A = this chain, B = another copy of it.
């Protein structure tokens, strides 16, 4: 019985997170009211405040949910996994409200007085792990610093999506992400690893 209640609470949290993301994605932080989130989620204010202390708390949870929209779609390792994270991200950013809202809030957070680097640091850690794995597999050039490259890839992806958003509503973000790797990989990967990296979309690989 306790377990059933716990599962129901987790489902309610997920429903709230998705509803908040859909509102934040469409209207931004300032344009989203708690009542609109409640109506969309079909839950009570009491349920919301059981899971999240405020609209700011919901925004933080949406920002931090980004990796969970990507990681389950991957089974590659090392440098290929690092590349795949960004390829899946660039496509899901066109359609997944939870990811779209997380990115929008992360970029615009200064406008509502927030300075929360948690989501960026989480991405950095995930990417650094891929790069350490790549190092252990002999895929990296000797001078490459996994921590710094991870920070730069997070930074560059953030900037590339913002640029694409402004010039064409992100329509060509997947192509920009592939081009980014064509430019970066020669400075990161050994010649042998370079020839093995697959830049085609994850879902269309045979």
Contact = CB atoms under 8 A, between A and B. Distances in A.
A38 interface: no
A136 to B, nearest CB: 21
A52 interface: no
In the complex, the count of this chain's copies comes to 2
Contacts of A154: 159, 163
Interface string A158-170: 1110110111000
A163 B167 contact: no
A55 interface: no
B166 A115 contact: yes
A167 B121 contact: yes
A72 interface: no
Interface in A126-152: 148-149, 151-152
Contacts of A108: 107-108, 110-111
Given A155-B159, A158-B162, A149 B110 contact: no
Contacts of A29: 111
A56 interface: no
A77 interface: no
A163 B117 CA distance: 8
Given A159-B158, A183-B184, A166 B111 contact: no
24 contacts: A28-B111, A104-B110, A107-B107, A107-B108, A110-B165, A111-B111, A111-B112, A115-B165, A117-B163, A117-B167, A120-B166, A121-B167, A152-B156, A152-B160, A152-B183, A154-B163, A155-B156, A155-B159, A155-B160, A155-B162, A159-B159, A159-B162, A184-B184, A186-B187
